[in-house]
């Protein structure tokens, strides 16, 4: 059975097909159109795969899963880092119509349980090297949350659950097939603003368009050598144009486990990388490294640096071509759909000062006032959008969807933007209750709910505080029944099992939380308070 999701209204679907955005091909086409290409597609350390080998590996794994009864309409929970198997597994799942949630490697118990509870996976693919999967206790826990769970395959396992063994099984006569192009291909993760992390159903049709159009704008082709040093499971790394875009263009993807200069600079030189994608804090580290090492010689092959995920300051932007010796492209995207790019031939001023413009002529984007009415060009307002690759609802979340979309199906991202005469967008703030910690999004409510489970915590509020490197960090204001130390709070959250980036960077113990006239916690006041306190301490 197909996975239920909020479809595009029929007249829109018809228009997107007519205009050639939706081509009714499954995402497996990205790899299968290169099935006889012997060029290197993927490099992971000492291992490398040609397109032919990558496709064959995905075929074998798809057959192995088919043999175990997995089929179109099933779901999977996948957690792999930046390794070749992440790409092979995704294509294998697409080939047999199984829709995965690709959790980040930094995710822990809380996040994975929330995803499992929502999609009730029949399949789990993970890594024994992740602490959660070092033994089988957590797998039993997942099985309790998803009664349908029947297959577990693990990287770095040499027993019954070995992913490597499955990848080596012969195909025999197993037949598998992808889901239809207007069905769910996989779920993307929302940065979120609510207590439980929300999932975004993405279809073959909408996602394939976003990849093809990104490839066109970023001019990826068979000469592209892309370093993927941000989490490969993230929407940015997958589709803007990301590693799927590189595959579409028949280029080469080189994986790195993190964006540190010590790892990446030698890799760029050795692999003659010409394009990569970063978040702003990594850009700062790269600039610092070039200064310290006194040369950007290691980056000589790099032509294009994409920066997105969080706001890039104009000052940092201007330093990129000068000090790193490559062109900058700003990318303002979201796992929900809409992606904006500065164009390669844009005037440098535009590239330094805006977050780009929508990639599709049929992306409808406008700024709304507090009542949801359109504002004139140049006014600051909430980003509203709909288009051929922007979703129409979070998975199984009717109440949240009612608040996230207007009556005409426009999605409100919670970003505050200014749209210029030329259609270029500047991101000037945010209205959603979220912290953007250098591109990693933290839903305040999720962390607050976890904090409130502590026996001695009465009230908790998580707010952002400015940070030179990360852009924003998090500060938890806590009202306790007794004095609580910051280390205790962090240890408690770690024991509950939550991704490290969600741990409060700072904890403030207070007697009470300030309230707004309507009785909600006054987070604006709290942000001011922490800013003043830190200023006074300098």
305 binds ligand AMP (CB under 6 A): no
Return the SS3 of 262: helix
Shortest distance in whole angstroms from residue 97 CB to ligand AMP: 25
- What per-residue string of b and e applies to 344-354 under the rule 16 or more CB within 10 Å gives b? eebeeebbbbb
334 binds ligand AMP (CB under 6 A): yes
358 binds ligand AMP (CB under 6 A): no
CA 205/CA 17 separation, integer angstroms: 9
Residues facing residue 252 across a β-bridge: 225
- CB nearer ligand DBH, residue 41 or residue 278: 278
| Contact partner, 355, from ligand DBH, ligand AMP, none, Cβ < 5-8 Å per class | ligand AMP
| Tokens of residue 11, six digits | 């007249």
Chain positions 316 to 335 lying near ligand DBH, rule: CB under 6 A, are 331, 333-335
| Contact partner, 339, from ligand DBH, ligand AMP, none, Cβ < 5-8 Å per class | ligand DBH
283 binds ligand DBH (CB under 6 A): no
CA 226/CA 255 separation, integer angstroms: 9
- CB nearer ligand DBH, residue 384 or residue 526: 384
CA 34/CA 51 separation, integer angstroms: 6
311 binds ligand AMP (CB under 6 A): yes
- CB nearer ligand DBH, residue 192 or residue 333: 333
Binding segment for ligand AMP (CB under 6 A), chosen from 117-125, 304-312, 385-393, 486-494, is: 304-312
284 binds ligand AMP (CB under 6 A): no
- CB nearer ligand AMP, residue 350 or residue 459: 350
| Contact partner, 240, from ligand DBH, ligand AMP, none, Cβ < 5-8 Å per class | ligand DBH
Hey, which bits of 98-158 come out as E strands? 99-103, 123-127, 151-155
16 binds ligand AMP (CB under 6 A): no
CA 435/CA 438 separation, integer angstroms: 9
Among 249, 256, 257, residue whose Cα is nearest residue 224: 249
| Contact partner, 415, from ligand AMP, ligand DBH, none, Cβ < 5-8 Å per class | ligand AMP
385 binds ligand DBH (CB under 6 A): no
Shortest distance in whole angstroms from residue 234 CB to ligand AMP: 8
389 binds ligand AMP (CB under 6 A): no
Kindly tell me which residue out of 110, 355, 385, 404 binds ligand AMP, with binding defined by CB under 6 A.
355
Instruction: Map tokens 């989490």 to a residue.
Output: 231
CA 302/CA 457 separation, integer angstroms: 50
Instruction: Map tokens 């050795």 to a residue.
Output: 270
| Contact partner, 397, from ligand DBH, ligand AMP, none, Cβ < 5-8 Å per class | none
Chain positions 397 to 456 lying near ligand AMP, rule: CB under 6 A, are 413, 415, 427, 430, 436, 441
337 binds ligand AMP (CB under 6 A): no
Instruction: Give me Rg for the CA atoms of the chain.
Output: 23
| Tokens of residue 464, six digits | 């952002």
- CB nearer ligand DBH, residue 327 or residue 329: 329
Q: Measured between alpha carbons, how far is residue 332 from residues 65, 87, 232, 328 in Å?
A: 36, 24, 17, 13
Mask for 184-203, x = binds ligand AMP (CB under 6 A): ------xx------------
| Contact partner, 413, from ligand DBH, ligand AMP, none, Cβ < 5-8 Å per class | ligand AMP
Task: Please count the residues of this chain forming the interface with ligand AMP, following the rule CB under 6 A.
Answer: 20
H helix or E strand, kind and range, residue 246 = helix 242-248
Shortest distance in whole angstroms from residue 478 CB to ligand AMP: 26
- CB nearer ligand DBH, residue 115 or residue 236: 236
Binding segment for ligand AMP (CB under 6 A), chosen from 23-31, 246-254, 309-317, 474-482, is: 309-317
305 binds ligand DBH (CB under 6 A): no
Shortest distance in whole angstroms from residue 193 CB to ligand DBH: 13
246 binds ligand AMP (CB under 6 A): no
CA 407/CA 410 separation, integer angstroms: 7
Shortest distance in whole angstroms from residue 531 CB to ligand DBH: 25
387 binds ligand DBH (CB under 6 A): no
CA 492/CA 494 separation, integer angstroms: 5
Shortest distance in whole angstroms from residue 51 CB to ligand AMP: 29
Which residues are within 8 A (CB) of 123 and not within 5 positions of it... i.e. 6 or more apart?
A: 65, 70, 74, 75, 76, 77, 93, 98, 100, 149, 150, 151, 152, 153
Task: Please count the residues of this chain forming the interface with ligand DBH, following the rule CB under 6 A.
Answer: 11
Kindly tell me which residue out of 245, 280, 309, 356 binds ligand DBH, with binding defined by CB under 6 A.
309
- Pairing mode of beta strands 199-203, 184-189: antiparallel
CA 518/CA 528 separation, integer angstroms: 19
- What per-residue string of b and e applies to 241-276 under the rule 16 or more CB within 10 Å gives b? bbbbbbbbbbbbbbbbeebebeebbebbeebebbbb
Cα angle vertex 443, ends 89, 355, to 5°?
Answer: 80
Contact status, residue 201 vs residue 391, Cβ threshold 8 Å: yes
Instruction: Map tokens 């009542």 to a residue.
Output: 371
Measured in degrees and rounded to the nearest 5, phi and psi for residue 239 equal -135, 0
- CB nearer ligand AMP, residue 235 or residue 284: 235
Chain positions 231 to 260 lying near ligand DBH, rule: CB under 6 A, are 235-236, 239-240
In angstroms, the first-to-last Cα distance of the chain is: 60
CA 49/CA 39 separation, integer angstroms: 8
Residues in contact with ligand DBH by the rule CB under 6 A: 235-236, 239-240, 308-309, 331, 333-335, 339
Residues that bind ligand AMP (CB under 6 A): 190-191, 235, 308-311, 330-335, 355, 413, 415, 427, 430, 436, 441
């Amino acid at each position: 059975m197909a996975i239920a999701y909020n479809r595009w209204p029929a007249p829109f679907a018809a228009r997107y097909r007519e205009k050639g955005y939706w081509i009714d091909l499954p995402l497996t086409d990205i790899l299968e159109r290169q099935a006889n290409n012997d060029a290197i597609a993927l490099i992971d350390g000492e291992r490398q795969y040609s397109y032919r080998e990558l496709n064959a590996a995905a075929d074998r794994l798809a057959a192995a899963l088919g043999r175990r009864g997995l089929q179109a309409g099933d779901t999977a929970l996948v957690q792999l880092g930046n390794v070749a198997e992440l790409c092979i597994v995704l294509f294998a799942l697409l080939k047999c119509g199984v829709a995965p949630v690709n959790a980040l490697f930094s995710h822990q118990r809380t996040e994975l349980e929330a995803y499992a509870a929502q999609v009730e996976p029949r399949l789990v693919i993970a890594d024994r090297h992740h602490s959660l999967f070092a033994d089988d206790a957590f797998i039993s826990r997942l099985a309790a949350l998803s009664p349908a769970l029947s297959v577990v395959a693990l990287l770095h396992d040499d027993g019954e659950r070995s992913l490597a063994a499955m990848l080596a099984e012969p195909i025999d006569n197993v037949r598998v097939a992808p889901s239809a192009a207007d069905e769910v291909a996989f779920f993307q993760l929302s940065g979120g603003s609510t207590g439980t992390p929300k999932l975004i159903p993405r279809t073959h049709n909408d996602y394939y368009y976003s990849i093809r159009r990104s490839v066109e704008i970023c001019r990826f082709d068979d000469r592209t050598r892309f370093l993927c040093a941000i989490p490969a499971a993230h929407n940015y790394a997958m589709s803007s144009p990301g590693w799927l875009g590189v595959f579409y263009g028949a280029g080469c993807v080189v994986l790195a486990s993190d964006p540190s200069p010590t790892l990446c600079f030698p890799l760029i030189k050795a692999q003659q990388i010409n394009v990569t994608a970063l978040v702003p804090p990594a850009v700062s580290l790269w600039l610092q490294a070039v200064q310290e090492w006194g040369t950007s010689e290691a980056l000589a092959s790099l032509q294009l640096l994409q920066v997105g995920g969080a706001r890039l300051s104009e000052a940092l932007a201007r330093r990129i071509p000068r000090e790193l010796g490559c062109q900058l492209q700003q990318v303002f995207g979201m796992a929900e759909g809409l992606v904006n790019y500065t164009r390669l031939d844009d005037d440098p001023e535009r590239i330094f000062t805006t977050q780009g413009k929508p990639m599709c002529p049929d992306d409808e984007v406008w700024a709304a006032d507090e009542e949801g009415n359109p504002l004139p060009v140049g006014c600051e307002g909430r980003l509203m959008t709909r288009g051929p690759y922007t979703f129409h609802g979070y998975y199984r979340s009717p109440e949240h969807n009612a608040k996230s979309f207007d009556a005409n199906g426009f999605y409100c991202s919670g970003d505050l933007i200014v749209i210029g005469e030329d259609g270029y967008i500047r991101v000037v703030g945010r209205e959603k209750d979220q912290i953007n910690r250098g591109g990693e999004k933290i839903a305040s409510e999720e962390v607050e709910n976890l904090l409130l489970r502590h026996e001695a915590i009465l009230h908790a509020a998580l707010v952002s505080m400015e940070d030179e490197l990360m852009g924003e960090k998090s500060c938890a204001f806590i009202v306790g029944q007794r004095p609580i130390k910051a280390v205790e709070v962090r240890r408690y959250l770690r024991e509950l099992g939550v991704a490290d980036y969600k741990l409060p960077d700072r904890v403030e113990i207070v007697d009470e939380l300030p309230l707004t006239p309507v009785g909600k916690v006054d987070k604006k006041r709290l942000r001011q308070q922490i800013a003043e306190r830190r200023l006074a301490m300098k």
